[in-house]
Structure 1
Amino acid sequence: MTKSFNDNLGKGVFANVYRGKLPDDRLVAVKILKESKGNREKFINEVASISRTSHVTDVTLLGFCFDGSKRALVYEFMPNGSLEKFICSNTSVAKHQLGWENLFQIAIGIAKGIEYLHHGCNTRILHFDIKAS
């Protein structure tokens, strides 16, 4: 699916993300979680919680893989990348490209997404790891 993890989209403390392609030619982002000694039930519960959320500001979880200590999450692919490169860029070029009105609308959208996680979905989710990305 990921062509041997050739196309790295990003690296984080807990996971690396790679571009992949499903058999039906849909592009996906495959998040490979770092080795975990946590229990199986906790991971499955987290996957179940993520799969029950659906909001216009959230990427969709398409599937997951769980094989011993190896864990992966498969998300829809965002062809334009993350907003992080525009919002958190130190250059004024990125901010100029979006304009202040668009940045304001993005901030409103992010706030609505967080509000949905806290109050709108069936399972209340308190997300303590909110990042610009």
Structure 2
Amino acid sequence: MNKSFRPALRLSAVSLLLAAGAAQAHQIWIEQAAGANERAVVRFGEFGENLREASPGLLDKFGQVRFDLPWKGQYVAEVAHTDKTAGERQGPKGAEKYDGVSYVTSLTVLKADGVEPIAAGPAATPNK
């Protein structure tokens, strides 16, 4: 990640979560910033066909989540959604039934500046 990373990360976690269930045939992906003064962008559409939702659109209807990143180092955000709607898909041997679908995405950010992280405490003695 470049040095111009802002101390706060805005990630539309709610959008990712809710749109995953509503999207069905669409994908959600994060594109890196093109320039030093730009931000990463959450996209919704057909990645393989290079189709992106226009703004304003479905993703704009959801709120944003803000994370302050005060410490230097690595941060990981994960969003998970389980759709418990049963269905059927075509497999190599014909139709295959399923009970639900799980979607998981994560974002890793390495922050080069900030407060030094707090040192880990001593290891606990294992129980015998």
Instruction: Please give the TM-score of this superposition, normalised by the length of structure 1.
Output: 0.21
Structure with greater strand percent: 2
Radius of gyration: which is bigger?
Answer: 2
> Which gives a bigger RCO, structure 1 or 2 (Cα 8 Å, sep 6+)?
2
Structure with greater helix percent: 1
